[in-house]
Structure 1
Amino acid sequence: MMMIRATAEEDWEVLREIRLASLLDAPRAFGTTHAAAAANSEAQWRDRAAGRGPARFVLAFVDGVAIGIAGAVVSAAGELNLIAMWVKPGSRGSGAAAGLVEAVKQYAVSRGHSRVVLDVSSENLRAAAFYRKLGFAFLPVWEALESHPDITVQKMQWVSP
């Protein structure tokens, strides 16, 4: 049975493990690098897991094993951003990704945000199609991916009905 829930401080090792796995699996898909994330201290991972900081994370579990991650962070512009979205390759298509996105949407609404934004590479057709299926639409906003400036990402948004 799948369970999706927000992380707590005691989940710091699981959060670290799945985040580092995501960065190894898709090193050019995220705004940070594996090396940068791996350099974080235990205290930093504990703070992330506990939500002490700008981001809040949710994990998807099957039989107690983390299979996916997503995060939410409020940008300097006050937008709630869906970040760190990733599901283990063997669990893709299981509904975990949709569950993680829905958890971030619910978190956004519970915090008074009526919209969620994310960045996706125009080359990542599968991800773009997935987000569109979940109600996200492209905006005419493009920028370089912070961790890989040679990659251009486009902003997508979801607006609460």
Structure 2
Amino acid sequence: MPRPEPLIRTTTEADWKQVRELRLEMLRDTPIAFGETLEHAEAQGEAVWRLRAARGTTPGQTSIVAIDRDRWVGHMGGWIPDAASGPLLVGVYVTPTYRGERRGVSRRLLEAVEEWALEHDDALRLEVHESNSRAIAFYEKLGFSLTGHSRAYDLEPGGLELEMIKRLR
């Protein structure tokens, strides 16, 4: 039986070139969504990209990608900033031609992150820029709700990062 496309899996250090390529695509597509500038990411060396790719195999964090044949088409990650706050969803991206319910890439990536998060807590949090209405609507559709907490967005254009949460049990 053929595998469903795209393949969903965690990253390893050996994936560093593909992780870099996808991250640069993410930053070009939606610069406000990732807390890093394209210029900063482009300036990082191989050692940094190897560490980022290894997040898929590092305790306390995960990095999950969607791969359609040889094309990397999506990413979601998670990490635990501290014991009190629990798992945080980060680095959410799907290539534009793979977005939408018909493809199911976003849901499959999120399911994988939720499985990881359940090993640590019964909820998954995220932060989203207040002007990223497409992302907010997407997260609400997948069961996240605004908590009422926010923090200042660190990069230009400023504004707020809104916290959202999804109960997993």
How far apart are 1:79 and its partner, in Å? 2.4
Return the alpha-carbon distance in structure 2 between the equivalents of residues 21 and 105 of structure 1.
24
Residue of structure 2 in register with 1:65 after alignment: 71
The code of the aligned residue for 1:58 comes to I
Contact kept in structure 2, 1:30 and 1:145, CA below 8 Å? no
How far apart are 1:121 and its partner, in Å? 2.4
1:43 aligns with one of 37, 42, 47 = 47
Query: Secondary structure of the residue that 1:150 maps to in structure 2?
Result: coil
Return the alpha-carbon distance in structure 2 between the equivalents of residues 67 and 147 of structure 1.
26
How far apart are 1:149 and its partner, in Å? 5.8
Return the alpha-carbon distance in structure 2 between the equivalents of residues 126 and 72 of structure 1.
20
| 1:140 to 1:131, Cα distance in 2 relative to 1, 3 A | same
Query: Secondary structure of the residue that 2:63 maps to in structure 1?
Result: strand
Residue of structure 1 in register with 2:93 after alignment: 86
The code of the aligned residue for 2:77 comes to G
The code of the aligned residue for 2:65 comes to L
How far apart are 1:56 and its partner, in Å? 2.3
Query: 4+ residue stretches of structure 1 with deviation over 6 A?
Result: none
Q: TM-score, normalised by structure 2?
A: 0.86
Asked if residue 120 in structure 1 is aligned to residue 128 in structure 2, the reply is yes
The code of the aligned residue for 1:45 comes to W
Q: TM-score, normalised by structure 1?
A: 0.90
Return the alpha-carbon distance in structure 2 between the equivalents of residues 114 and 147 of structure 1.
31
Return the alpha-carbon distance in structure 1 between the equivalents of residues 132 and 73 of structure 2.
21
1:19 aligns with one of 23, 29, 40 = 23
Q: Which runs of 5+ in 2 are unaligned?
A: none
Higher share in strand: 1
Residue of structure 1 in register with 2:115 after alignment: 106
How far apart are 1:84 and its partner, in Å? 0.9
Worse-matched range after superposition: 29-38 or 16-25: 29-38
The code of the aligned residue for 1:109 comes to L
* Aligned CA-pair RMSD: 1.8
Q: C-alpha offsets along residues 4-52 of structure 1, whole Å, 9 cap, x if unaligned?
A: 1110111111111001110111111221111222222211111221225
Q: C-alpha offsets along residues 56-103 of structure 1, whole Å, 9 cap, x if unaligned?
A: 211111123100111112124542111110111111112111211111
Return the alpha-carbon distance in structure 1 between the equivalents of residues 96 and 65 of structure 2.
15
Asked if residue 10 in structure 1 is aligned to residue 11 in structure 2, the reply is no
How far apart are 1:131 and its partner, in Å? 0.9
Return the alpha-carbon distance in structure 2 between the equivalents of residues 71 and 148 of structure 1.
23
Percent pairwise identity: 35
